Chain A
Amino acid sequence: MTSGFGLGLRTEHYNDFLAEPQPVEWLEVISDNYMVDGGKPLAMLDQIRANYPMVMHGVSMSIGSINGLDKEYLRKLKILEQRVEPMWVSDHLCWSGVHGRNMHDLLPLPYTQEALQVVKHNVEQAQEVLQRPLVLENVSSYVEYESSEMTEWEFLAEICQVTGCRLLLDINNIYVSAFNHDFSPTSFIEGVPVESVTQFHLAGHLNNGDHLIDTHDHPVCDDVWDLYRQALLHFGYVPTMIERDDNIPSLPELIAELDMARAIADDVLNTKIAL
């Protein structure tokens, strides 16, 4: 388990990380951006990796697809994993397409026993290739299915138990889905197994009044910071990062936001110890 706070590595900040050491303990790279044949992406990755521990975060594994996993995708992911030697490898609890089509989205699953078996099979396949536990992230969602038989957190807890996979809890995604589907974010946090949580994501979203969209183009809002406090109280210290994918600010601005996460964690965890 690593310590400290991280950021998602974005092309806009390559030069900052190459120019001088930055106050960031680790970096998360989007696996898919580096599953390429060569050129600047891999050159930058290698240079920055030399100075920072990394975790790999994918968006295209489609772990919930009824068609199973794409073997070529897994092969390329394994090659990248051997190159980066990340602390862990994550992707999303979702599906992205069937029958050879890809919608390039993180589509939610129905929380059913049948889906559980599909995800179990696919997680086991990924873990066999990667030879390490897969880390799964909860997604933001905008639909719920008539067929669901359990809550999202019950599904996550079950999949961790039957596969040994771990969890990347996106605090913003919990908040967005809780708002969109009118459930208690506290129930979510209290419903997942403490020992399985490997990483937290923090991010911003777009508030459209009657629904929230997970855009990653805003700073973390106060409500999500409050939920982060709750998560820290429940899970204790968990490696945390700010995830920003659009409207990307300067690195100092993002580091200032990360410092807020550090300050909140210090405050919450020190208070917890004092109690």
Chain B
Amino acid sequence: MNLRELQIDFQRALFDTECNGADWISESARGLSARNRLDIYYNAYRLRLIDVLLDTFEHTAIYLGDDWFNQLAADYVQSHHSTYTNIGLYGREFPQFLVEQLPQDKEVSELALMDWKLRRAFDGADSAVMTLEDLQHLASDETGIRLQAVPTLTLCTQHFNTLDIWHAINQEQTPPVVEGLLQPIDILIWRKGHSPHFRSLAKIESAAIACLCSGETLDAIGATLEKDFPDVDVATEFGVMLHRWLDDEIISVGFRNAE
């Protein structure tokens, strides 16, 4: 057996649904059998990846309880091979896996997606944050300013009281009974300083952030909001929003002039 055949067969043995041993492993005179020796790697592979999922999806694991979470994690490990050198990325498809596995419990996948996005914000790209002075300076010099969100900014939409569930778990309290929301809400996730942050968004702010992320100028964002929220004092509301964005550190100093 050459090295290529051995590595392919070893990998296949670890991916199998059960550990069946291999004839390319030496039987030794003392200690474990060849089959039990392979079993060490077989079990370690699963335990390591389940541990990563437990660490990444901490709130989801607490919500589901050890037995249920471990079963789902084991099923995920069996059906999803890692293609990442960074083991921390292994859970990327886990929220979608939960959508498919638990179609009647969609708050679970929403919780998992929130866990995932908060974890990714933790070590996402750095950027210099825009201050009020920076913005005032820009506004006096430029027209048609397009602001740029910090690279860790992301949104997720929730259809259940998942945010309340997350807060209860975080405070080591009993989670509330799951309830569908009358209207879905968008959750803004980003990193401020070294810590991932999140908050829910009103419809108008959600729309403004969507415009911001698609590269619209401040003037264009204002116009869009005027059109979509005719009953709102957009000039005032947008000004308040901009101040909050600066306080929250979600705007990067990188900006683009309108073309």
Contacts and interface: CB of A to CB of B under 8 A. Distances in A.
Contacts of B125: 37-38
Interface stretch (A110-118, A129-137, A184-192, A236-244): A110-118
A43 interface: yes
Interface residues of B, number: 47
Given A37-B123, A39-B124, A211-B32, A104 B194 contact: no
B243 interface: no
A144 B45 CA distance: 18
Interface-centre pick from B7, B84, B126, B194 (highest chain A CB count, 10 A): B7
B104 interface: no
B44 A105 contact: yes
A142 interface: yes
A105 B69 CA distance: 23
Given A39-B126, A143-B25, A99 B41 contact: no
Interface in B1-51: 1-4, 6-8, 10-11, 14-15, 23-26, 28-32, 34, 37-38, 40-41, 44-45, 48-49
B173 interface: no
A56 to B, nearest CB: 15
A257 interface: no
Contact of B11 (A39, A40, A42, A97): A97
A115 B3 contact: yes
A154 interface: no
A195 interface: no
A100 interface: yes
B14 A143 contact: no
B8 A99 contact: yes
A1 interface: no
Contact of B1 (A41, A103, A147, A182): A147
Nearest to B30: A182
Contacts of B32: 142, 180, 210-211
Contacts of A146: 1, 23-26
Nearest to B126: A38
Interface in A140-168: 142-148
A141 to B, nearest CB: 9
B156 interface: no
A70 interface: yes
A251 interface: no
A181 interface: yes
A180 B40 CA distance: 12
Nearest to A144: B26
B85 interface: yes
Contacts of B49: 104
B3 A112 contact: yes
A114 B1 CA distance: 11
B32 to A, nearest CB: 5
Given A60-B85, A97-B11, A143-B34, A104 B23 contact: no
Contacts of A147: 1, 6, 24
A213 interface: yes
A26 interface: no
B83 A100 contact: yes
B7 A144 contact: no
Nearest to B22: A143
A84 interface: no
A25 interface: no
Contacts of A38: 123-126, 151
Interface string A94-112: 0101111111110101101
A29 to B, nearest CB: 14
Given A99-B8, A182-B31, A40 B126 contact: no
Contacts of B126: 37-39, 42
Given A39-B122, A146-B24, 14 more contacts: A37-B126, A37-B151, A38-B126, A38-B151, A39-B191, A104-B82, A105-B44, A107-B41, A143-B26, A146-B26, A147-B6, A147-B24, A180-B31, A180-B37
Interface of B: 1-4, 6-8, 10-11, 14-15, 23-26, 28-32, 34, 37-38, 40-41, 44-45, 48-49, 81-87, 90, 121-126, 151-152, 191, 194
Give me the 5 closest cross-chain CB pairs, A-B, nearest first.
A38-B126, A37-B125, A40-B194, A36-B123, A39-B123
19 contacts: A38-B125, A38-B151, A39-B124, A43-B194, A60-B85, A98-B4, A98-B11, A102-B82, A102-B84, A103-B14, A115-B3, A118-B3, A143-B34, A143-B38, A144-B28, A145-B25, A146-B23, A180-B37, A182-B29
